[in-house]
Structure 1
């Protein structure tokens, strides 16, 4: 599967105008990173789709088309943006807890723990009955059979995944549920008049200089996938307001990387005042992007149907780990866990003849899903402009992972050289922020008339008021 064919699949699934694909130019070839999977095609196609959707929305507003170019090396740098992050000439804060990783079980299976949040780490240590030290965790896990531990941790609401082969994954009801879903879904969920965002348009109606000028985005997401989606919308001119809860954990380097281009506020949805404020913001928003587990926000009165009643014409974007149907729909998950559960880590291990499971050389499911979320949002905004209606965009890490696996494999792809920091220095820029001088990856998609860029530096959580400009 070439990047061009992958892009064609995304665009066709979204019912995009076929002629628009002629304005996209993709460069670079696989393998772009050491992996048997076509991560380069995934990166190029999802980023190009986002750039093309922005260009087409701009054309809808102004009548002017433009060329979109994506180079695979730059796309892969974007897919590893957290890896190349730097602060004041040095490294960023630590990304992963030392206990996170792979462990062998009593029956010769492998399981992955994800303990980057303190309460997840505490829960795992309680189940295992051991100290917070990697050797103690390994010893405790060696007293469990893999499937039993996997289920016990899941039942406790913790984050882990048994390493499964692709065939083992395919036999599960959850994999069967995902197999019935397309890569993403864009559904009309309510009636509303046709609407083209017109805030900040010039008197001539030419839309200023950016595709998403005047589009307001609420970003209720954390870690990578959802925040990447919000960041992708910001780099095409949207006003993105990130909303965090005061009690919710975050990971410092990901806050720094993925808050670029956004303002950041804190609201407590556990109390009436916080919910009232969010309702007011929603009524004036164009896009409501959220990455809570399915049903979690609906329980607070902010599900897709709730949002469509509050704000007819809303584009509601949902991001989750394991999809929206099946027994795992509400299971907590992260990119690496989905790789482990769905056979990707086992495939990489076999290809590399590794003694342990191996993940992809980047958080590819997170980043691709984030770009698909932004892409879906822009497609839905265009439909709102031409058809009217409120819209719901649904993406998940597991659906993205299934598509990546369907793209085919690269013989000996795992022997490709890795991309070092020196190899991508031309993809980076350094900007002063309240965290210091932040070195970060710049947008990979190049639009000839409306260049993608992030107008705001990284911001700490709660740095701004919960209101629109």
Structure 2
């Protein structure tokens, strides 16, 4: 696992990581992919990045630690989320799932009404799973994918790794780095306010939805950032995921489809230090918040853009989710049908790696100045995971109970996975439990 972490850290910083201890075995998660190793390296990278910020504050970070069992639990955190002990609500919509076609398989993502409507419109069927199953069974997988995507929905054909490698988007993803971090404009150096936490006094504006972006914000909040999640009252949510990823964040609603809402967002950005966004690529640019506009509005801002399929290639603007990317890029390839990863590792790893990159960019902003842009994608993370090789697919029985804790939240008494990653100089933790969506004012705390 150490060589994996060394590679990630070199990509982020060009340096060798400081003192770090990685523990545990990879058999905590089943399947042939090295998901537990990737999870551990991602957690360690983010924690090391936080430690570097402590050094800027003249605080000794100590020896960073990351354990495979704790990392695996964090990568499945939504499965452990409980309110008053009740099991979490389903995260998949009635029409979401894998469907057999004439020549293979296709996955339809229907967790939101607009995506379900796109499936019905694109395939010319009512919202009945039986009807969708019958219709899809008589069509070619690529034809179904195209029909749904063209209608504004989200779908993916199950491709083999070889097919993906030869696909123009697969080629584009393979040519991109795991993390792209660069200065995009000049700006004065940042001065960190006094704090005994890595991100104390750092304001993070989070314009994200499931799942990678919210995970990144959750990690930043655990290291002391003031994270304000911006949503909209009219947009649907997957409550289990929103509740799980909202730890330590404030939550507000801003209607970006109105002039007043966009004016409010400008005020928030003008006082932010970091902007994390996972809108469909191009969406923020269309309403006046592209990288150039953001750099002008807030010189010195760290901008983190997360996407499904990367920022180059014919699918750069395509909607996508973890389960769809696994289908497209061959990770879910199986001779008897889709065989997905044991957890939504592309989402979670991208979130942790994004947090690591953001903290690295904040450090560079302090030492060098500049406005910085960070870019990652689920497909890029998938390419990285695939490059790590394979392991024995078997797994051991794992008890995660000691990694769970309870806290008060806007939803009631909440059970959650404790924050992963050890940082003796400032152990990461959330200052409060998840708040109800939209309960906070769209302003920064003093």
TM-based fold match above 0.5: yes
The answer for the alignment partner of 1:459 in structure 2 is: 435
What does residue range 203-352 of structure 1 map to in structure 2 within 5 Å? Answer: 207=195, 209-346=196-333, 349-350=334-335
What does residue range 1-20 of structure 1 map to in structure 2 within 5 Å? Answer: 3-18=1-16
Question: In the TM superposition, what whole-angstrom CA distance separates every residue of 1:246-303 from its partner, at most 9, and x where no partner exists?
Answer: 3322111011001111000000111111111111111111100000121110111112
Tell me how far 1:15 sits from its aligned partner: 2.1
Tell me how far 1:13 sits from its aligned partner: 1.0
TM-score between the two structures when normalised by the length of structure 1: 0.93
Match of 2:136 among 125, 133, 141: 141
The answer for the alignment partner of 1:416 in structure 2 is: 395
Tell me how far 1:463 sits from its aligned partner: 0.8
Q: Distance in 2 between matches of 1:130 and 1:295?
A: 30
The answer for the alignment partner of 2:124 in structure 1 is: 129
TM-score between the two structures when normalised by the length of structure 2: 0.97
Q: Distance in 2 between matches of 1:273 and 1:304?
A: 21
State the secondary structure of the residue aligned to 1:458: coil
State the secondary structure of the residue aligned to 1:446: coil
Tell me how far 1:418 sits from its aligned partner: 5.9
2:356 aligned with 1:375:
yes
Question: In the TM superposition, what whole-angstrom CA distance separates every residue of 1:308-338 from its partner, at most 9, and x where no partner exists?
Answer: 1111110000001000011101110000100
Query: How many residue pairs end up in the alignment?
Result: 445
Match of 1:447 among 423, 435, 440: 423
Q: Distance in 1 between matches of 2:365 and 2:62?
A: 22
Asked if 2 retains the 8 angstrom alpha-carbon contact of 1:32 and 1:39, the reply is no
Asked if 2 retains the 8 angstrom alpha-carbon contact of 1:186 and 1:394, the reply is yes
Distance 1:418 1:175, change over 3 A: farther
CA RMSD of aligned residues (A): 1.2
Deviates more, 1:244-253 or 1:5-14: 244-253
Asked if 2 retains the 8 angstrom alpha-carbon contact of 1:255 and 1:460, the reply is no
State the secondary structure of the residue aligned to 1:431: strand
Deviates more, 1:113-122 or 1:220-229: 113-122
Asked if 2 retains the 8 angstrom alpha-carbon contact of 1:30 and 1:38, the reply is yes
Q: Distance in 2 between matches of 1:31 and 1:38?
A: 9
Distance 1:432 1:63, change over 3 A: closer
State the secondary structure of the residue aligned to 1:439: strand
The answer for the alignment partner of 1:29 in structure 2 is: 25
State the secondary structure of the residue aligned to 1:359: coil
Distance 1:276 1:336, change over 3 A: same
Q: Distance in 2 between matches of 1:442 and 1:389?
A: 34
Match of 1:362 among 329, 343, 352: 343
State the secondary structure of the residue aligned to 2:204: strand
Q: Distance in 2 between matches of 1:35 and 1:132?
A: 34
The answer for the alignment partner of 2:34 in structure 1 is: 38
Q: Distance in 1 between matches of 2:100 and 2:318?
A: 22
Q: Distance in 1 between matches of 2:79 and 2:136?
A: 29
Question: In the TM superposition, what whole-angstrom CA distance separates every residue of 1:174-206 from its partner, at most 9, and x where no partner exists?
Answer: 1111111010100100101111321xx2xxxxx
Question: In the TM superposition, what whole-angstrom CA distance separates every residue of 1:69-125 from its partner, at most 9, and x where no partner exists?
Answer: 11100000000000111111111222111321111112x311011111122112212
2:176 aligned with 1:181:
yes
Tell me how far 1:63 sits from its aligned partner: 4.5
The answer for the alignment partner of 1:80 in structure 2 is: 76
Q: Distance in 1 between matches of 2:77 and 2:315?
A: 29
Q: Distance in 2 between matches of 1:278 and 1:122?
A: 29
Unmatched 5+ stretches in structure 2? none
The answer for the alignment partner of 1:101 in structure 2 is: 97
Asked if 2 retains the 8 angstrom alpha-carbon contact of 1:433 and 1:457, the reply is yes
Q: Distance in 1 between matches of 2:384 and 2:277?
A: 22
Asked if 2 retains the 8 angstrom alpha-carbon contact of 1:27 and 1:70, the reply is yes
Q: Distance in 1 between matches of 2:128 and 2:431?
A: 42
Match of 2:161 among 166, 177, 197: 166
Q: Distance in 1 between matches of 2:176 and 2:121?
A: 36
Q: Distance in 2 between matches of 1:25 and 1:243?
A: 36
